[in-house]
Amino acid sequence: MITPQDETAILKAVDAVFDREVEFLAELTSHASTRGKEQSAQDFMAAELSARGYGVDRWRIDVADIAHLPGFSPVIGDYEDAVNVVGTRGTSGQGRSLILNGHVDVVPEGPLDMWETPPYAPRIADGWMYGRGAGDMKAGLASNLFALDALRHLGLAPAGHVFLQSVVEEECTGNGALACLARGYRADAALIPEPFSEQLVTAQVGVIWFQVHLKGIPVHVAYAGSGSNAIEAAIPLIAALHEMEHRWNAAERRHGDYAGHNHALNLNIGKIEGGDWTSSVPAWCVFDVRMGLFPGQDIGEARREIEAVLHDAARSHPFLKENAPAIVYHGFHAEGYALSQDRSEGAAQAISALESAHRTVTGGPLDKIAITATTDARFFGLYADTPALVYGPRAEAIHGFNERVELESVRRVTQATALFIARWCGLEKI
């Protein structure tokens, strides 16, 4: 039983270690951990866990270990550079267990001249820390770790097993979290502090990534009429995909958590390339697409509709009707997940514990939100029968320029996380 005096002591303990937490976050943010370059950040995470006496498990993800599992996303190339780190907090095991999950990978920073200061030279101004990944989601990794540090500051530890996961691949497949499940990490609940402004995520969309490969006929531009421009051929196909996006967002097709959201499913043409020479009609074009799905929407059916839309649009093109576009799936193959549909006693108790912790810290109720992005929560909720709570700090410009996270929000999330651990796992003296 956690008393009001215990709660006050835990809140003060977070304050006592918070300067170190900010320093930790700055160091972690300084590592440019884009896909394939996460190793130095994972070295740092492993060293910090080891210094605290955690059992550290570090391994390279093997596609063969996970390719057969539900939730796997197809990949191009190998995983020689994909490394997960998990720290295990030893305990008596008398309390409930918990996974504290976060991803260390970040998205590319884009043109550096559009940042006010270098993205991997974190700075603090007006209570915010700036830097790529500071918000999404290295602040969450920091709050996970320092919530436990605050308890240790009081001579306390969780009474149940706690697994701190620092995973890769969240931004493109989720296979890092899936690899943790394949390795045997299970718990009674999971907490993922993604940056959604101290709100509990009740539902998240699914995501499909795919590429569309188009062919054309290359000729000298002086004779352009005798060729077929593969780049221009992409334009009506993209328009057809946007028409499909509109249909998928229709009111009668919406999941209940998104009933009031007019455009929850977003299609994005995230990358396009093609051609070889400015004065040659381009013979090829490839464009990359991201499309959202509602929870419960079947991925197989979604793929079939996407393919039908593209092939139907291609039939109106004089060259593509005889040279159909090729569709390649790689990256996200993610189902949607709704915590709101988890009627288990464990989910109810976990949500109640977080609500209580949040109220103690903020003085107000825990707001709920259905998000239009995906997170690794789906692996725990859909494939491991584990309620997954997504609750993290306030951040702005994630995936954009001058990404930043509010430090006082990080403090509050760390406090709420420490209280949640105390309520969920119970406490024991070190």
Look at the block and give the residue holding tokens 């295990």: 88
Q: Which pLDDT belongs to residue 304?
A: 98
Find residue 221's DSSP bridge partners.
Answer: none
- pLDDT of 10 reads 98
pTM of the predicted model as reported, rounded to 2 decimal places: 0.96
127 conformational bin, left if phi > 0, alpha if psi -120 to 50, beta if neither: left
Residue 212 pairs in a beta bridge with: 287, 327
Confidence (pLDDT) at 421: 98
Write the CA distances from 364 to 343, 359, 369, integer angstroms: 24, 5, 16
Torsion angle, alpha carbons of 419, 424, 425, 428, to 10: 50
Per-residue pLDDT of the chain (430 residues; tens, 9 = 90+): 789 999 999 999 999 999 999 999 999 999 999 999 999 999 999 999 999 999 999 999 999 999 999 999 999 777 889 999 999 987 777 899 999 999 999 999 999 999 999 999 999 999 999 999 999 999 999 999 999 999 999 999 999 999 999 999 999 999 999 999 999 999 999 999 999 999 999 999 999 999 999 999 999 888 888 899 999 999 999 999 999 999 999 999 999 999 999 999 999 999 999 999 999 999 999 999 999 999 999 999 999 999 999 999 999 999 999 999 999 999 999 999 999 999 999 999 999 999 999 999 999 999 999 999 999 999 999 999 999 999 999 999 999 999 999 999 999 999 999 999 999 999 999 8
